[in-house]
Amino acid sequence: MTRLSRATLASLPQAIARPGHDPAVVSTGIVHFGPGAFHRAHQAAFIDRLLDKDPRWGIAAVSLRSPGTVEALKAQDGLYTLAVIDRTRSLRVIAAHSDAIGPGEGARLRALLADPAVRIATSTVTEKGYCLGGDGSLDLSHPDIVHDLARPAEPASVIGWIVAGLSDRRDAGTAPFAVLCCDNMTGNGGKLRAACVTLARAWDANLASWIEDKVAFPDSMVDSITPASDAAFLGHVADQLGVTDDAAVQREGFTQWVLQRFDMAEGPDLESVGVTLTNDVRGYEQAKLRILNGAHSSLAYIGLALGLETVFEAMSDPALEGFISRLVHSDIALSLKPVEGLDISAYADAVLDRFRNPEIRHLLSQIAWDGSQKLPYRLLDTIQDELDAGRNIDRLAVPVAAWIAFVRHKAQTGETLTDPLADMLIRAAAGSDVATAMLGLRQVFPETLATDPRFRHAVTDALLPFLDGRPETLLTR
């Protein structure tokens, strides 16, 4: 079958949305590291709309490791299909990529980073791709960083390439590009800035000072569920298009990109295509962590106790759906401080509506992984704030009790518990006084919270119906 390309674009069925600009006239203004599915479904979709009115911001997709996506984009003139899977499905051809660079094309990448027309470098390489240590700073012992320290002209890491590109800009007297991390790390811009300065200082102290003084590293937050593009999905897209598309991606209808304001003369008008520019990215991150992630974990542990399998199934249970809605609006939302530009109640409604999407099969068992690492930030911080404010936490105690019962079930059945503290948790949950043992784990429950009699009583009270096989009785709270 023929591939999707500029030559075949006009022959696509009328139901397929096409770009509102001519891909042939787009120039490169952004270099992006890590052109995986999330980038193509999220950031590139925003830029695609921007190019309809400003052709300066085409994206050069860069993959330092795997050639697969880059080769697919090259073969398709940078085009691919975005499927939005909501209650109704839609297909749209994205034409945001003006270039693609794969492994072994270092000279081309170096030239692009030095080009004054490139104003922004972005990245989605997952947290491990930044070579950070456990404290969030650059790991100087990481093999890629060791390589870059020894051979700065031939970087192996994303950090090395960014610093090399900025070094060339400084040497040429050219204004630097801004650096935008689009991975979900708290304070991602600050962490990337610190990593780049650390590596630059090892190369040239003056370069490090120049980067600290001249280069913007805004924080950001991104959000949209992006299921994998498996063979069945790619086959469905080919059937719809009448041509093959090896780079097609899919995501839910909801998409969010929050970006810290930064100075750039004649920069892209990102707000015009739906990007939220703010001075309080941290506020948006906390809202997402507590409302979206907190509700997700609550659905997972309570839903599993009720014998449910997916988020959609859990939200289709009227009693559980009502409980989660009250938990979000009457408890979690109250713990959040006002955030510039964010209607917290409307955001909470949007999150709950996303959970009701029948097209997204999100397994509760998967969300339940690594509870010891997630609960402190998703629920326990909220509970502490509510206690400090003198508010009732009976409803908030239910998902905590559900997690304890979840671990208890694993301990009793011998099923695998996916958690970095699995052995410790299983030992604690296996005893007769499971509440005391679990609340005694300081790796999960902070001393101040765990010893608060209001919290201990609320969790212990909520735990009994789970252990007795009556979790549904808690859903009227």
SS (H, E, C) 278-334: ECCHHHHHHHHHHHHHHHHHHHHHHHHHCCCCEHHHHHCCHHHHHHHHHHHHHHHHH
343 and 416 share one domain: yes
Per-residue pLDDT reduced to its tens digit, 379-406: 999 999 999 999 999 999 999 999 999 9
Determine, yes or no, domain membership for 1. no
Question: Whole domain around residue 114: which residue ranges?
Answer: 6-279
Determine, yes or no, domain membership for 113. yes
The single-letter code of the amino acid at 264 is: M
253 and 314 share one domain: no
Distance CA 23, CA 20 (A): 9
461 and 319 share one domain: yes
323 and 249 share one domain: no
137: Cα separation from own chain's centroid: 20
- What is the model's pLDDT at position 154? 93
Instruction: Say what percent of the chain tops pLDDT 90.
Output: 96
Scan for tokens 């104003």, then name that residue: 119
- Going by their DSSP bridges, the two strands 120-123 and 178-181 should be labelled as parallel
pLDDT band at 47 (very low <50, low <70, confident <90, very high): very high
Q: Identify the domain boundary among 221, 248, 279.
A: 279
Q: Say yes or no to pLDDT of 88 above 90.
A: no
Q: Identify the domain boundary among 220, 251, 279.
A: 279
335 and 439 share one domain: yes
- What is the model's pLDDT at position 220? 97
267 and 300 share one domain: no
pTM, entire model: 0.92
- What is the model's pLDDT at position 134? 85
Residue from 82, 87, 91, 71 nearest 42 by CA: 82
Distance CA 180, CA 192 (A): 9
Determine, yes or no, domain membership for 249. yes
pLDDT band at 442 (very low <50, low <70, confident <90, very high): very high
270 and 288 share one domain: no
CA angle 210/213/217 to nearest 5° reads: 105
86: Cα separation from own chain's centroid: 19
- What is the model's pLDDT at position 87? 84
Instruction: Say what percent of the chain tops pLDDT 70.
Output: 100
Q: DSSP letters along 358-387, please?
A: TT---BHHHHTTTHHHHHIIIIIHHHHHHH
DSSP H or E segment with residue 258: strand 256-260
Helix (H/G/I), strand (E/B), else coil: 241: helix
Per-residue pLDDT reduced to its tens digit, 453-476: 999 999 999 999 999 999 999 999
| Contacting residues for 128 by C-beta, under 8 A, at least 6 apart | none
Distance CA 19, CA 324 (A): 39
List strand residue ranges (DSSP E) for 124-248, in order: 178-181, 220-223
pLDDT band at 448 (very low <50, low <70, confident <90, very high): very high
pLDDT band at 218 (very low <50, low <70, confident <90, very high): very high
Exposure string for 16-42, b = 16+ CB within 10 A, e = fewer: beebebebeebebbbbbbbbbbbbbbb
The single-letter code of the amino acid at 148 is: D
Determine, yes or no, domain membership for 63. yes
109 and 139 share one domain: yes
Q: DSSP letters along 111-129, please?
A: HHHH-TT--EEEE---GGG
- What is the model's pLDDT at position 280? 96
399 and 450 share one domain: yes
Q: DSSP letters along 23-69, please?
A: GGG--EEEEEE---HHHHHTHHHHHHHHHTT-GGGEEEEE-SS--HH
Query: 89 or 82, which is more confident?
Result: 82
Q: Identify the domain boundary among 216, 247, 279.
A: 279
Query: Number of structural domains, the chain?
Result: 2
- What is the model's pLDDT at position 411? 96
Residue from 408, 386, 404, 401 nearest 461 by CA: 401
Determine, yes or no, domain membership for 437. yes
Residue 323 maps to which CATH number? 1.10.1040.10
Neighbours of 412 (CB within 10 A): 11
314 and 275 share one domain: no
450 and 321 share one domain: yes
255: Cα separation from own chain's centroid: 11
Per-residue pLDDT reduced to its tens digit, 255-303: 999 999 999 999 999 999 999 999 999 999 999 999 999 999 999 999 9
Distance CA 421, CA 444 (A): 10
Residue 194 maps to which CATH number? 3.40.50.720
Residue from 54, 66, 204, 71 nearest 120 by CA: 54
| Contacting residues for 392 by C-beta, under 8 A, at least 6 apart | 386
257 and 328 share one domain: no
Mean pLDDT over 217-240 rounds to 96
pLDDT band at 340 (very low <50, low <70, confident <90, very high): confident
Determine, yes or no, domain membership for 335. yes
Q: Say yes or no to pLDDT of 113 above 90.
A: yes
Cα-Cα-Cα-Cα torsion 101, 105, 107, 109, nearest 10 degrees, comes to: 20
Instruction: Establish how many alpha carbons lie within 13 A of residue 366's alpha carbon, considering only the half-sphere containing its beta carbon.
Output: 5
